[in-house]
Amino acid sequence: MAVSWEDEGIVLSVRRFGEHDAIVSLLTPTQGRHMGLVKGGSGKTKRSALQSGNVVKAWWRARLEDQLGNYTIEIIHNFAAEAMSDPLSLAGLSSLCAMAETTLPEREAHSEVHRLAMSLLANLGEPGWAPAYVQWEMCLLRDMGYGLDLESCASTGVSDNLTFVSPRSGRAVSEDAAGPYRDRLLTLPAFLKGEGVTPTTEDIVAGLKLTEHFFDVNVFAPHRREMPAARARFLAMLSGPAK
């Protein structure tokens, strides 16, 4: 007896398969990151719908649960086309898809990661979307079991004036406790502590460098892999030209 499901999903990646078909990876709220074969997915008719960052309605069906299976897909929202007019928004969209594709295990639901990703896509280019992207990466780290502890200082236990994060433990460090070790610590931007401040571009860059360190240490480096190129481009665009 065949197995099947239907859900909405974010297109994470599309890989050509044969002459006309494509293997498509989606992020769905109930099925997680899930791949399937789209017949004719490399053709002109379906190519515009199958762009990373688009939201689609998907029907998946296979003879057995552990098979690749086939997707039938209908476009719901073409976020990729909307982002084309803003290079930074397009870079953020590409980074989101690449990070989800390269970090999340397949067929494991991560509903909060999906929910925040949908909110990001719906608000690309709007005020506050870039710091919201950093918060999404923080959620991704938590869901993978590598969440940061930013509630109190690792050395003193105080909850005030937390300005750094230990690169080893992932715990916050206060300004007073940093002392001679501050050059070895990672910057903790205030907006990640829920202080309601408006983050600067420098704060957003600091947040991305913070999450990047823990993704690299815990996810990529152990498997001798690097951060996705799309993520590196997004950070480079926010950082501006080298001085």
pLDDT for the residue 12: 98
Q: What is the DSSP string of 130-152?
A: HHHHHHHHHHHHHHTT---B-SS
User: In which domain, by residue range, is 216 found?
Assistant: 82-150+188-239
Number of domains in the chain: 2
- Which range is least confidently modeled, 155-164, 193-202, 209-218? 193-202
Q: Are strands 162-165 and 70-77 parallel, antiparallel or unpaired?
A: unpaired
Is the domain of 86 the same as that of 123?
Answer: yes
- Contact (CB, 8 A) for 91 and 230: yes
Q: What is the mean pLDDT of residues 59-78?
A: 96
**Residue with the larger pLDDT of the pair 196 and 142:** 142
pLDDT digits (tens, 9 = 90+) for 1-19: 789 999 999 999 999 999 9
pLDDT digits (tens, 9 = 90+) for 139-152: 999 999 999 999 99
- Contact (CB, 8 A) for 202 and 238: no
pLDDT for the residue 197: 82
Is the domain of 38 the same as that of 91?
Answer: no
What is the rounded distance in angstroms from the CA atom of residue 161 to the CA atom of residue 166? 15
Is the domain of 62 the same as that of 103?
Answer: no
pLDDT digits (tens, 9 = 90+) for 74-115: 999 999 999 999 999 999 999 999 999 999 999 999 999 999
Split at pLDDT 50, 70, 90, the class of 155 is very high
Is the domain of 13 the same as that of 62?
Answer: yes
| Of 77, 99, 132, the domain-final residue | 77
Residue 11 lies in a domain: yes
